[in-house]
Amino acid sequence: MRGSRFASVALIVAWRNVHNFFTNPALLLPATLFPLFFFTAFAGGLSRVAEAPNFNYAPGYTAFQFAFVLLQASAFSGVFAGFGMARDFETGFGRRLMLAAPRRQAILAGYAISAMVRAVFIDVLLFVIALAVGMNVLGGTVDLLTLFGLALMLNFAAAMWAAGIALRFRSLQAGPLMQTPVFLILFMAPVYVPQALLAGWIRTVAPANPITAILETSRSLLAGSPDGVTLAVFAGFTLSAFFLAWALRGLKSAEAAGG
């Protein structure tokens, strides 16, 4: 009985946010167009990077950049779910939801589900467009499923990070706190060239960045030669668990403040 009530609340919250996303052009268009813009700018505008010495990536530079843009799109789908939560608290809906839900963790689950639905939609669209413009994919079905699984783990971690901020501040003014750290950690990975070709301070920082393990493995999956999958899954799981705990503590903060 309690489990069914939890699921009901989570699905209602998820449906509301998914419905708002797909019926509101102000939400749908930026979330769809920004990943396509980054993909076009990086894969097209920087394609000459593939001619650099020791740049050995069999599928080509389009696939190399697709892996990053996929992870970026997934992460920001999670961040934008946090925006939705902050907006709901700012308008008073979040407080009413907190009072009505018998288990408030279900509210968090609902926003997480909506974030994943958004990510799946955008990631699939991005993948189809990448194939249409000639991206080479050497990995098989299992490789691609693993790739999208890693992207969804990152989506969940980013959603929980943003939810933790939203629950503590309960205002859209906290938006920069949600997105700036995610943006920074993504770009402290080997975005434009493989890790072995990095130089300067980023060469020191990138190996310690958990996103690097996920990104490098994602690229290896597209190339059909999976490498570091265990480490990438561990990194994704650790980020997800850490930020889930962060979000749950934020939920207690919102409860203490009366929603």
- State the pLDDT at residue 5: 84
Identify whether the C-beta of residue 211 lies closer than 8 Å to the C-beta of residue 186. Answer: yes
* pLDDT, tens only, 19-40: 999 999 988 998 899 999 989 8
Low-confidence ranges of the chain (pLDDT < 50): none
CA distances from 90 to 85, 166, 246 (A): 9, 10, 21
Neighbours of 154 (CB within 10 A): 31
Domain boundaries, the chain: 2-256
- State the pLDDT at residue 127: 96
CA-to-CA distance for 161 and 181, rounded, in angstroms?
A: 10
CA-to-CA distance for 74 and 58, rounded, in angstroms?
A: 24
Is residue 192 classed as helix, strand or coil in its secondary structure? coil
CA-to-CA distance for 78 and 178, rounded, in angstroms?
A: 10
- State the pLDDT at residue 1: 54
* pLDDT, tens only, 82-117: 999 999 999 999 888 888 887 889 999 999 999 999
Is residue 250 classed as helix, strand or coil in its secondary structure? helix
